[in-house]
Amino acid sequence: MDMGLLGRTAVVTGGNSNIGRGIVLALAAEGANVVIAARDQAAGERVREQALAAGAKNAVFHSVDVVDRAQVGQMVVAVEERFGAVDLLVNNVGGNVAFAYFVESDPDTWRRDIDLNFTGTLNCAHAVLPGMINRASGRIVNIGSTAGLIGDPTLAVYSAMKGAVHTFTKILAKEVGPHGITVNAVAPYGTLPDDWANDVSAGSRWHADGVIAKRENSGDSPSIGRRTVLERQTATPREIAAAVVYLASDAAAFVTGQILAVEGGALLA
């Protein structure tokens, strides 16, 4: 099915790992120009090569910390100079830096969770919108979480920030809709990397040195998992990516301000 993305330029933040990698490869298969905006260059270059093999018209890695507004601005300028426009922004960067009940949490982690899950989304959207408004065209897809819909224990600030991403999505859709721009979000449930050894970046919480591995090894943290209504209890990156491709496509031109949950029915209980 032709999703109308051939030759369009997509910036995917955190595109070098897990969900972000899946999104990059799905957009590449549609013939898009893909920009992998992330910090780990080795992982980014690896995904860039995979994207070209998957069919990307062009694929580039751009080293950027999305929490730094100046770096984000420089990245957007570079992309617009090379490709002429940012047609699609996927705000994928996110994650938690620790697990703890809020009353026991370290306040130093709060700001890091806020920046990782929300500040970067604001920075990137703010940077691409002037160009999109000028062209009266554009797509923004934010990656939220089911945690932002129902809340996860030991992830109070992370859940709150994903909820903020969802609300920001709706408000921004109202503001920029008259300019021909759609803004939507995808809210995944637990999504495991295809290959834990090779498909995660150094900064990923799924990395061997990441917060999830440390949590699993500690053996003293309560489970935050929920049962789905399906045989399988976790999603794959390609399933999240399929939702992003739809929302970025011409088929979703009349869809905006929506939070599309990809969660296997985990929230039905």
Give the integer Cα–Cα distance in Å for 7 and 201: 27
At 2 the pLDDT is 79
Q: What is the mean pLDDT of residues 12-16?
A: 96
pLDDT tens, residue by residue, 221-256: 445 568 889 988 889 999 999 999 999 999 999 999
Kindly list the structural domains of the chain, giving each domain's residue range(s) and its CATH number in brackets, ordered by start. 9-262 (3.40.50.720)
Per-residue confidence band for 76, with pLDDT thresholds at 50, 70 and 90: very high
35 with 12: CB under 8 angstroms? Answer: yes
Report which of 80, 72, 147 is spatially closest to residue 117, judged by C-alpha positions: 147
201 with 39: CB under 8 angstroms? Answer: yes
Q: How far from the centroid of its chain's Cα atoms is residue 204's Cα?
A: 12
Mean pLDDT of the residues in the chain: 90
Structure token digits, residue 133: 């408004």
Give the integer Cα–Cα distance in Å for 150 and 158: 12
CA dihedral 95, 101, 104, 110 (to 10 degrees): 30
pLDDT tens, residue by residue, 29-47: 999 999 999 999 999 999 9
What percent of the chain lies above the pLDDT cut of 70?
88
At 253 the pLDDT is 97
Sheet holding 9-13, edge to edge: 58-63, 33-38, 9-13, 88-91, 138-143, 181-188, 259-262
Give the integer Cα–Cα distance in Å for 211 and 205: 5
At 218 the pLDDT is 47
Give the integer Cα–Cα distance in Å for 119 and 158: 12
pLDDT tens, residue by residue, 184-207: 999 999 877 776 556 654 555 554
Q: Judge residue 28's burial from the number of C-beta atoms within 10 Å of its C-beta, 0-12 exposed, 13-18 middle, 19 or more buried.
A: buried
41 with 63: CB under 8 angstroms? Answer: yes
Query: Among 13-17, 64-68, 181-185, 210-214, which is the least confidently predicted range?
Result: 210-214
Report which of 242, 250, 263, 257 is spatially closest to residue 87, judged by C-alpha positions: 250
The residue type at 99: F
Is 246 among the catalytic positions? Answer: no
| pTM of the complete model beyond 0.85 | yes
What percent of the chain lies above the pLDDT cut of 90?
80
**Which member of 101, 158, 189, 246 is catalytic?**
158
3-state secondary structure of 138: strand
